[in-house]
Amino acid sequence: MITLQSKCVFSGGAVLAEGPVWDERSQRLYWLDIERGRICRFDPSSKSNQEWILGTRVGFAVLTEQGDMLAGTQEGLIRFSCDTGTSTPYANPESDLSQNRFNDGKCDLQGRLWAGTMSVEEADGAGSLYRVTAPDAVSSQVSSVTISNGLAWTADSSAMYYIDSPTRRIDGFDFNPGSGEISNRRTAIALEEGIGYPDGMTIDSEDMLWVALWEGWGVGRFDPKTGEMLAKIEVPVACVTSCCFGGAKMDELYITTASRDLKEEDRPKQPDAGGIFVAHPGVTGTPSIRFKG
């Protein structure tokens, strides 16, 4: 197995940094601090970081074809403009579940949003995974989810991969790119004890999965056809939350981390917990897909 290193590029001290999205048009990285309800934008060239406070937990934010963002919060889906700092409600499929919030979300290659929910208390099976194409077209695709997390699609859109973190699995589905239907759920990767829980993930140009390892001190590269862990990027933070490819050549991997569960005596050992890291994995990724709805 190959071992790679990462470096901290922004020590922001987030409680729960998550949801990195690379904007290839502006060459900047969007990311979230979930518990503080913040959408953030980091500029690698200037090392500057902007923040917008939503006033509610925010689990993901994807770029849209309209130039704004579609974000998943504890109050449902909202459209948010960084230009104006304003938000408008979009849809709330769980308006009757006030203790649920959206967690990870991502668009398939056809521009449909896939977004999962979870209980803020992490209650077993309280969440769902939704497919979203319009405010009145939000449909549950996977139910009884505990912590809905990473999503990825192969380059030919024949397969979708999905994580419900406590299962310690990355599941695969057959994917119909025309209809957006999923079928034939199976275990693609089962994580061994001791390497952490699977959190957010992305996919590279070779259809290999890069999976953030919560309590695993890094990001693993996995072959979903064999289940083998091919490489690991070491991160000096225990709770690694997500990752995405970025940079002018899409050859950098940006990695988010958390400080939420750190005990006071452990903070000096992980001074950059809650920061943003970058690594050069030796492969490229593809730009984030924008929501078309």
In a domain, 161, yes or no: yes
In a domain, 292, yes or no: no
Q: What is the CATH number of the domain that holds 244?
A: 2.120.10.30
In a domain, 118, yes or no: yes
Q: Which listed residue (199, 261, 266, 272) is catalytic?
A: 199
Segment 198-241, tens digit of pLDDT: 999 999 999 999 999 999 999 999 999 999 999 999 999 999 99
Segment 72-121, tens digit of pLDDT: 999 999 999 999 999 999 999 999 999 999 999 999 999 999 999 999 99
In a domain, 243, yes or no: yes
Asked if 266 is an active-site residue, the reply is no
In a domain, 101, yes or no: yes
In a domain, 289, yes or no: no
Q: In total, how many domains does the chain have?
A: 1
In a domain, 250, yes or no: yes
Would the pTM count as exceeding 0.85?
A: yes
Q: What angle do CA 127, 235, 5 make, to 5 degrees?
A: 135
In a domain, 285, yes or no: no
52, 39 contact by CB (below 8 A)? yes
Place of tokens 């518990």: 35
Q: Residue 239 is part of which domain span?
A: 2-279
